[in-house]
Structure 1
């Protein structure tokens, strides 16, 4: 007689073949975290809950114009998102790549409304691209850099409404110099045409960071990542990635939710007490990384636990 292993006890670790595939192409998936109908119902509830920012770590009255930051780190005040970042289907696979000691250092909502431009091609290693100040730093002897991004489809993601695009194998070499600083211009949003495609970067022009100003990504090699609600895909932040525009053929909003993971030895916001992005500056006073696997190997990082989540330090 055999019995099914309870889901909570299952391991979702990547196989050796999957790990090899990931290292070759820089991404893997999609995988399923929730069934489509389950995710639709979860998102219906969660979308309404997001309107309440009374316990958000970045209060509205402190955003100083940096409206995009309001999409950051809602896992620190929302129960579903707090559970989502530690979901075994996700964390087991991430730990297969990063090792047993893993923290989630940021989450972000990525909505794509009807008519919105596509997100331009980009890579991120230290996430210093907007301010010139590194937001994550790996130890000097680290084998890798950047972050593991898990992009979850909370709604259907297809070409017509702005799904992700990757250029496989481009994660091994950075084409951008993040020590430079981009110039923020909110008036450029939805107003830039690049080779016949509406692409922007939330008010920035990512091309300002190019090491070679004449270089262009090989878009012929790009692959589109079509996903059902409840699926997720895993990729290095150093992989060349972008998204299609939302063509506005339907009134549905495409919603993606990105969770960013690094080994717990990585320094998060080193030497900083604020985030400076999107024309604004906001305090990290109530911010903290979350340990999702193993042990915290960096006592210098701000951390939160279930008992401190959503509360002032």
Structure 2
């Protein structure tokens, strides 16, 4: 049997993506394959000796930021973000020249609250400072997120939720900046569901304080281990609580992609989130497709598997 050489979205899939704001789920790993790979990777990630934000994040207790960008120091995650099953589909939307600018882990343990409804355009929601900047006059904004289920993700275990077709209108003003108050904002009941947003209350950013998302239109994106979904960060999305009927953790791994024309972390040298700051001195984006003719961003070559910063080149910002 001939191996599949292209995983680009079909015309029908692309039309549905533009209409709904997401595509998938698609299968990347078989369940047994990802179980073994994630089991091994989970243990190896305890070694933070080459992690980008290890020292500052550990000292400040900013564990969320400490979980960012482990693809820059771990070979399995570096390979994951460049897999053609992912990159071909992302390129179908963004064009041939694509960067991966961030990865994040999203664990949900038994009994954890759901993640509140939200959208992200510039990712300035926590600091008030844009983390990505599209070219002036662009019809697009936000980032393409590829969320992969490293474990089973069912409704009971806290799978993603989307409200299809909401990616074209922002209901939040990210320049307002949220207040980090984890003691107040964890597991707040909203429409009968305990929801939080990692210590923030996303409702603080609402353009219309009286507005509420139409949850009657929401769809639940159940995925078996090894599947992934592609969606605009401007799509209204959330996740269910982990009901605790299973003792297993739900783990999602999100990789975020933009065209090379986008400036990453413009005019800033730090990430400011979750009550702390970390330096971007050792950070770099990864070119996963095509070429970078703009030179906006510092790039890291993760095709070599040696020290992640040895092959860094720096652009303008």
- TM-score between the two structures when normalised by the length of structure 1: 0.96
Whether the 8 Å contact between 2:31 and 2:225 is mirrored in structure 1 is: yes
Residue equivalent to 1:266: 262
Does the alignment pair 1:40 with 2:48? no
Match of 2:241 among 225, 245, 263: 245
SS in 2 for 1:204: coil
C-alpha separation in 2, matches of 1:66 and 1:276: 10
C-alpha separation in 1, matches of 2:207 and 2:167: 15
1:206-221 equivalences in 2 (<5 Å)? 206-221=202-217
Match of 1:132 among 106, 128, 134: 128
C-alpha separation in 1, matches of 2:94 and 2:55: 34
Residue equivalent to 2:116: 120
- The structural deviation recorded for 1:249 is 1.1
Once the two structures are overlaid, the 10-residue window that deviates more, 35-44 or 74-83, is 35-44
Whether the 8 Å contact between 2:261 and 2:296 is mirrored in structure 1 is: no
Once the two structures are overlaid, the 10-residue window that deviates more, 165-174 or 179-188, is 179-188
Does the alignment pair 1:80 with 2:76? yes
Residue equivalent to 2:308: 310
Identify unmatched segments of 5+ residues in structure 1.
none
Q: Deviations over 1:140-176 (max 9, x none)?
A: 1322110000000000000001000000000010000
SS in 2 for 1:242: strand
Does the alignment pair 1:106 with 2:102? yes
- The structural deviation recorded for 1:310 is 2.7
Whether the 8 Å contact between 1:116 and 1:190 is mirrored in structure 2 is: no
Match of 2:11 among 16, 28, 42: 16
Residue equivalent to 1:228: 224
Does the alignment pair 1:5 with 2:2? yes
- The structural deviation recorded for 1:193 is 1.2
C-alpha separation in 2, matches of 1:235 and 1:311: 29
C-alpha separation in 2, matches of 1:243 and 1:58: 27
- The structural deviation recorded for 1:277 is 0.3
Q: CA RMSD in A?
A: 1.3
CA 1:86–1:309: 2 relative to 1, 3 Å: farther
Match of 1:173 among 169, 182, 185: 169
Whether the 8 Å contact between 1:102 and 1:294 is mirrored in structure 2 is: yes
SS in 1 for 2:278: strand
Residue equivalent to 1:158: 154
Residue equivalent to 1:49: 44
- The structural deviation recorded for 1:219 is 0.3
Whether the 8 Å contact between 1:57 and 1:310 is mirrored in structure 2 is: no
- TM-score between the two structures when normalised by the length of structure 2: 0.94
- The structural deviation recorded for 1:196 is 1.4
Whether the 8 Å contact between 2:114 and 2:187 is mirrored in structure 1 is: no
